[in-house]
Amino acid sequence: MAGRLMAGGAARGGCREGGGVMAGGGGAALLGPVPGVPSCPHGPALLFVKTGQETPEGRRFYACSACRDRKDCNFFQWEDEKVSETRLAAREEYNRTHQPPRTHGQNVERYKEFVLLPLSKRRFCQECQQLLLPAEWEKHSDHQLLCGISAAQLRSPSQLLYPLENKKTNAQYLFADRSCQFLLDLILDLGFRRVLSVGTPRLHEMIQSKASQEDDFRVRSLLLDIDFRYSQFYTEDEFCHYNMFNHHFFGGEAARETCRKFLCQDNGERVIMVTDPPFGGLVEALASSFKKLMAMWKESEAEDQDNQEMPMFWIFPYFFETRILEFFPSFRMMDYQVDYDNHALYKHGKTGRRQSPVRIFTNITPSRIVLPVEEGYRFCAVCERYVSSGNQHCEMCNSCTSKDGRRWKHCVLCKKCVKPSWFHCNNCNCCALQNHACEKPDAGCFVCGKAGHKRSACPSLSCA
């Protein structure tokens, strides 16, 4: 879950003009990306619409695609705002000066020099998060340094680099070895030979490490990530600086072509995309980018791909299931619990509500996704998929219905299975927590506030 810049501050918390939510109620919804939009240091902005009591018809604005907090990126512009030439020039200069100080190519050349150094001269600055050449030691003399950087450490940069843990901006959580090894074993068992690793640096480095040490290991990986620090360790054919919220390749057309060639190699066969986006990110923006990557894959020459989707693992919490299926109806959620090294709650082996809520959504036939029996997973012959031990088949629903690993119970009145802690409320005419408030809020559209339709079908968005 790397480079986890969490999009959606505008859409989730209201308009960010002045750094906060605008007064007057209402909300904001994503309309973009659209062509010809202004850019910030994170690439093209996204277009949102803001609605409220004063503007029920909505007013459109551009905001950063990647950052929720204006302190991290202060870009904001109304769509109908006239921007002066002076301000445009200042913005371009600001965007230029807020890019990494070195290019990817320069970092690759530095790496070649670094690996030729004897072990005693290999140093890494923990404060600046960069590999140091001897001529640079003096500038970092008062910084915390790691010395004697080994080849094994260079093959595992996600363990050498500090995770970016600002929850409002990055929330960079990394797969635990258990989950990473499971994903790689599954990829091998399914016969894939190329992995497009979108925001999954630990999976990428496991593949790269095995490829460099085992002659018969044939899997290759290309990492797309917004964390540019990885350019210190990987060539342009192994890593692309990429923003998954607006499908922006910071390396321009050359990086985009690298990705396209990787996907279309061998007529696009035996390639899978594995992505682990920030959980606070907008599903709409992510889905848009993933569909563009899929379209890039379809540019291969294979004739039988017209009606196919590129195989994909989207790793996300189970409570986003409805949103993901809205954009990818062919996907199914697997019961496997993905866990992370540096997250206090998302750990395997916890029970009840303490279990990791993170799952794998995929368009691969569920019966082919074999989950480890030794961890308590079993095959349900009726559902034709592996399920967790607590996920019991419901005869009335004709499905293994649990989403969170606990055994759910069937409510005859609701005609579906619900969480074990829920009870049927006659006032609300549905199941809910026992101590919930019965006052039912107005179920209006998030965009215009009117009842009778969902945000995705709002007439206010029809001209977008």
d(CA 242, CA 226): 5
Task: Give per-residue pLDDT as tens, 172-191.
Answer: 678 889 999 999 999 999 99
Question: What does the pLDDT read at residue 121?
Answer: 96
Domain residues of the chain, as ranges? 28-98, 102-149, 167-389, 390-430, 434-463
**Could you tell me the two tokens for 258?**
């690298």
Are 188 and 219 in contact, with CB atoms under 8 Å apart? yes
SS3 content of the chain, % helix, strand, coil (to 5): 30, 20, 50
Instruction: Please state which of the ranges 63-72, 95-104, 344-353 shows the lowest mean pLDDT.
Output: 344-353
For residue 312, which of 323, 326, 298, 328 has the smallest C-alpha distance? 328
- pLDDT of 13 over the 60 cut: no
- Residue 188's nearest CA partner among 274, 100, 251, 87 is 274
At residue 167, the pLDDT reads 40
pLDDT of 12 above 50: no
Measured from the Cβ of residue 246, the count of other Cβ atoms closer than 10 Å reads 23
Q: Mean pLDDT, to the nearest integer, of 79-102? A: 94
What confidence tens digit (pLDDT) does each residue in 323-353 have? 999 999 999 999 999 988 855 455 555 544 5
Q: Is the pLDDT of residue 362 over 60?
A: yes
Look at residue 68 in the predicted model and tell me its pLDDT. Answer: 73
Tell me the mean pLDDT in the region 76-82: 92
CB 332, CB 385: distance < 8 Å: yes
387 membership: H or E segment, kind and range? strand 385-387
* pLDDT the model gives residue 342: 59
Using DSSP's 3-state secondary structure scheme, residue 434 falls into coil
Task: Quote the pLDDT of residue 316.
Answer: 95
The answer to whether residue 170 scores a pLDDT higher than 60 is: no
Q: What is the mean pLDDT of residues 356-377?
A: 94
Q: Which two tokens stand for residue 342?
A: 């540096």
Q: How many CA atoms lie within 13 A of 79 on its CB side?
A: 18
Cα 178 to its chain centre, rounded Å, is 20
The pLDDT value recorded for residue 16 is 29
pLDDT single digits (tens) 106-150? 999 999 999 999 999 999 999 999 999 999 999 999 999 999 999
Task: Kindly report the average pLDDT of the chain as a whole number.
Answer: 85
Q: C-alpha angle 99/158/4, rounded to 5°? A: 55
Report which secondary-structure segment, H or E, holds 223.
Answer: strand 220-225
In this predicted structure, the answer to whether residue 433 has a pLDDT above a threshold of 60 is: yes
In the predicted model, what is the mean pLDDT of residues 443-449?
A: 53
Let me know: does 307 contact 354? Beta carbons within 8 Å: no
* Structure tokens given for 108: 């690759």
Between residues 443 and 58, which one has the greater pLDDT? 58
DSSP 340: B
Q: Cβ(341)–Cβ(176) under 8 Å?
A: yes
User: pLDDT class for 10, splitting at 50, 70, 90?
Assistant: very low
Measure the CA–CA gap between 291 and 329, rounded to whole angstroms: 13
pLDDT at 171: 52
The predicted model gives 47-66 an average pLDDT of: 82
Question: What letter does residue 292 receive in the DSSP assignment?
Answer: H
Residue 165 has pLDDT above 60, yes or no: no
CATH architecture of 167-389: 3-Layer(aba) Sandwich (3.40)
Give the Å distances, CA to CA, from 100 to 5, 38, 297.
Answer: 16, 20, 29
Locate all alpha helices (DSSP H) within 42-156, ordered by sequence.
Answer: 85-97, 104-116, 151-154
DSSP label at residue 268: G
